[in-house]
Amino acid sequence: MYDYENLKKDFERLVDKELLFHAYLFFGESQDNQFNFALALGNYLENKKFITPKPTQVLNELLVISPVENTTGIDAIRFLKNFLYQKPFFSKYRTAIIKEAESLSLEAQNAMLKILEEPPSHGLIILISRFEESLFPAILSRLHKIYFSSIIQIEKPYKSQSRFKNNEIEKLVKQFLKINLQSFKSSEIVSQIAKLENQNLNQFFEILISELKKNLIKNSEILKNILRCLTSINQVNVNKKLQIEALLYSITQ
């Protein structure tokens, strides 16, 4: 299971050994966590400090692109291309962060694909999105994907659960993966999951995702369904039990 410290150490190692991939997709339900981590990475590249920079701090080799009226158009990607192909002075990389990548227009995605096909050696692109399937498959195939759970706290890693509680949740995950719709225990287990407090429920999904990622090819569609379920559960006035039952149905088909 990824937590903030492990993710931070991995990226520090990649930077120090000059093994960074040219483009990443940070995806998951908490886009603030993804964005803050991307900013911290940009700060480490430029200043060797893996912390989110203060609002008043300027990173010379960093460009952030945000949607305008819920759309990121081709002009923004043209500007990004011009930025990336300029030689960096304060870092080995020029870093471009694209917030809400699902807002990229079709023209913008086509332009982005051309950049990803021939990326500059000193360019780093980080796309941030809630869902990975919101982008062209051709773009996705050229990105290294990292899922961010809401458990990952950028400024203060989440460490409040006891080991006993972790064991209970792990047991619940195993039961969930083994049950089927005809089992008389299915409703009982779904009810237990739905009654979990938010932090414990997030941990349940984190462990579930970790288990399913052991076979990404087989479980890719299920993982997408989990992300949809998480998004729905985080909405106001949603019946958690119904959402989890729907997820169970998708897993057992």
Q: What is the pLDDT of residues 77-104, one digit of tens each?
A: 999 999 999 999 999 999 999 999 999 9
Any bridge partners for residue 125, and if so which?
A: 23, 96
pLDDT of residue 39: 95
Percent residues over pLDDT 90 in the chain: 41
Domain ranges of the chain: 4-147, 163-252
pLDDT of residue 128: 95
Q: What is the pLDDT of residues 159-175, one digit of tens each?
A: 333 333 567 888 888 88
Task: Please say if the pLDDT value at position 151 is more than 60.
Answer: no
φ, ψ of residue 128 in degrees (nearest 5): -120, 125
pLDDT of residue 181: 54
User: How is residue 168 written in tokens?
Assistant: 């209970």
Statement: 4-147 belongs to CATH 3.10.129.10: no
Tell me the pTM: 0.61
> What's the rounded mean pLDDT across residues 230-252?
73
DSSP annotation string for 131-179: -GGGS-HHHHTTSEEEE--TT--SSS------HHHHHHHHHHHHHHHH-
pLDDT of residue 253: 61
User: How is residue 110 written in tokens?
Assistant: 């086509």
Q: What is the pLDDT of residues 175-232, one digit of tens each?
A: 888 876 555 567 788 888 888 877 677 778 878 887 877 776 777 778 777 777 776 6
Q: What is the pLDDT of residues 47-83, one digit of tens each?
A: 999 999 887 788 999 999 999 888 999 999 999 999 9
pLDDT of residue 161: 38
Any bridge partners for residue 123, and if so which?
A: 94
